[in-house]
Amino acid sequence: MKLIENWFSERYSDNLELSFRIKDLLLSVKTDYQRIDVFDTYDFGTLLTIDGTVQMTQFDEYVYHEMITMVPASFLNENYSGKALIIGGGDGGAARRLLDVGFKQIVNVEIDNHVVEVSKRFYPDLASSFSDPRVKLIIGDGIEYARTTSEKFDIVIIDSTDPEGPAEGLFSEEFYANVEKLLTDDGVMVTQSGSPYYQPHALKMAVSGMGKVFGSVRTYVAFIPTYPSGFWSFTMGSRKGLGKVRELPTGRYFNSEVLEGCMKLPEFVKKLINEIT
Amino acid sequence: MKLIENWFSERYSDNLELSFRIKDLLLSVKTDYQRIDVFDTYDFGTLLTIDGTVQMTQFDEYVYHEMITMVPASFLNENYSGKALIIGGGDGGAARRLLDVGFKQIVNVEIDNHVVEVSKRFYPDLASSFSDPRVKLIIGDGIEYARTTSEKFDIVIIDSTDPEGPAEGLFSEEFYANVEKLLTDDGVMVTQSGSPYYQPHALKMAVSGMGKVFGSVRTYVAFIPTYPSGFWSFTMGSRKGLGKVRELPTGRYFNSEVLEGCMKLPEFVKKLINEIT
């Protein structure tokens, strides 16, 4: 007798999909902004999807969260003030890593309160950052926040979904210009910028928009097995280029060698970037 | 009306699979060694599988073939003799790249003639290497060849399937010891060693077996989207460690930055390797 199997499939395109065998659907909720599903999987622990797209799994969330925080944090000088802004990141994972590496004041602006609530229930280790007194959680529109706040930050992290739907404005030149104004002199912004293999448009939007605003734009990459193609890019912007490197503690993925290696880009990625700049 | 769709799915484990939408099954043959299928896909061109495992697609074969040849070839000194041995690699892709970077004499030992025939038909660009006078194709057992030949090579490339079934012997200490004897003084061997995320046993077999035979063992990695997890490892062995770097032409993936970056390993991979050595 063949038992019925349950699978969650992410359709990467009309012609490619990755499927996870699941034990159970733990939660499914349609919010004002998006649909959130949480699955209990066999090999990847708890899996969170937004609008059918894998956001994170217990198995490999550390790669994304270490790389989106520790790489830019490596380029702050020793006198940095310790202030960070996270736009998106309602799971708390990015704030968690910033606290771990010594940030003193973090503002986290997440548009959808349900993401926070879901994370508190299913990823308590990550969401614990929201009960830390150093973290101020604002439920609101990050684009509006960036346009209107007068605060300054060493780092601004755009931890968003891909540039379709609610996150599209987070890949625009206008938004990047507002973020630039929030940075301290030596500050760095970073955004996730998609898979260079399957979503070159996300990388192009980030590099092209940031290129018009920042003196220096640098893309780096990481191996994230549960994201499309397993090959993920992040793009950093700074006014004067990235300076001397501060030694950070080693993570589960991040180390000082990874910091060096992640900016050495395959030729086809360099070409994608050169077509724009 | 919903049209019927055809998909090929590779089951990475009981709990994870990657599926490609296909236009057609072009060929399916059961040989003495394995089952070979060739599909025409929508997004990846012609896709070759062996025993249900993706071996290559037109879309991304260049990554694997450049990285398994150009990285070790970068470490040969200017006086190298230009001789290479490929074990496996019946598609001709590795030989193709070695010819492109100036090798003068290549012995390619493939156990299954059907792989060669299939490649001639569906990947003529790669299989063209077999009609080059610098390439000698031997249909036979690579393990036996390595045990008995008296020839010497600058590079020995193990371009095999994973260490289950016919390729298992290609991950053994005994085999590596025989390969070591075939190398010139400054020679390098390289083997594909699987996904560190999903097949740590392949990496462990390679590193541990080669560690008993070679003075120096170095693992490097590449982003291959159609292989499990998208994160692939290769492991090199040499007697004295890897010397001065020779400048090779830029490929579509490979360049001098990739050469530097590909050996900067994520912390969890370093730990996997340190557990062994």
Return residue ranges of chain A for CATH 2.30.140.10. Answer: 7-57
What global pTM score does this model have?
0.96
Label residue B201 by pLDDT band (50, 70, 90): very high
Return residue ranges of chain A for CATH 3.40.50.150. Answer: 61-276
Chain B residue closest to A233 (CA)? B223
Q: Indicate the CATH number for domain A7-57.
A: 2.30.140.10
- Whether residue B197 lies within 8 A of chain A, CB to CB, comes out as yes
Cβ neighbours of B18 in A, within 8 Å:
16-19
Q: Check: CB of residue A269 under 8 Å from CB of residue A237.
A: no
Phi and psi (nearest 5°) for A227?
Answer: -100, 155
Kindly list the strands in the beta sheet with A105-110, ordered across the sheet, starting from the edge strand earlier in the chain: A135-139, A105-110, A83-88, A153-159, A183-192, A231-238, A216-223
Q: Do A258 and B250 make contact, defined as CB atoms within 8 angstroms?
A: no
* CA atoms of B122 and B102, how far apart (whole Å): 25
pLDDT of residue B77: 87
Topology of domain B61-276 in CATH is Rossmann fold (3.40.50)
Looking at this predicted complex, what is its ipTM?
A: 0.95
pLDDT of residue A62: 98
Q: Which of A37, A159, A162, A185 is catalytic?
A: A159
* CA atoms of A25 and B80, how far apart (whole Å): 59
Q: Do B262 and A263 make contact, defined as CB atoms within 8 angstroms?
A: no
Q: Tell me the per-residue pLDDT of B49-70, one tens digit each, with 9 for 90 and over.
A: 999 999 999 999 999 999 999 9
Nearest CB partner across the interface for B19, out of A19, A225, A250: A19
Q: Do A21 and B19 make contact, defined as CB atoms within 8 angstroms?
A: no
pLDDT of residue B1: 52
- For residue A272 the two structure tokens come to 């994608």
Q: Do A229 and B229 make contact, defined as CB atoms within 8 angstroms?
A: no
Label residue B277 by pLDDT band (50, 70, 90): confident
Distance from CA of A217 to the nearest CA of B (A): 17
Q: Do B260 and A255 make contact, defined as CB atoms within 8 angstroms?
A: no
Q: Tell me the per-residue pLDDT of B106-117, one tens digit each, with 9 for 90 and over.
A: 999 999 999 999
Q: Tell me the per-residue pLDDT of B70-110, one tens digit each, with 9 for 90 and over.
A: 999 999 988 899 999 999 999 999 999 999 999 999 999 99
Task: Point out which residues pair with A137 in neighbouring strands.
Answer: A108
- Whether residue A231 lies within 8 A of chain B, CB to CB, comes out as yes
- Whether residue B273 lies within 8 A of chain A, CB to CB, comes out as no
Concatenated DSSP letters for chain B? Answer: -PPP--EEEEEEETTEEEEEEEEEEEEEEE-SS-EEEEEEESSSSEEEEETTEEEEETTTHHHHHHHHHHHHHTTS-TT---EEEEEE-TTSHHHHHHHHTT--EEEEEES-HHHHHHHHHH-HHHHGGGGSTTEEEEES-HHHHHHH----EEEEEEE---SSGGGGGGGSHHHHHHHHHHEEEEEEEEEE---TTT-HHHHHHHHHHHHTT-SEEEEEEEE-TTSGGGEEEEEEEESS---SPPP----SS--HHHHHHTTS--HHHHHHHHHH-
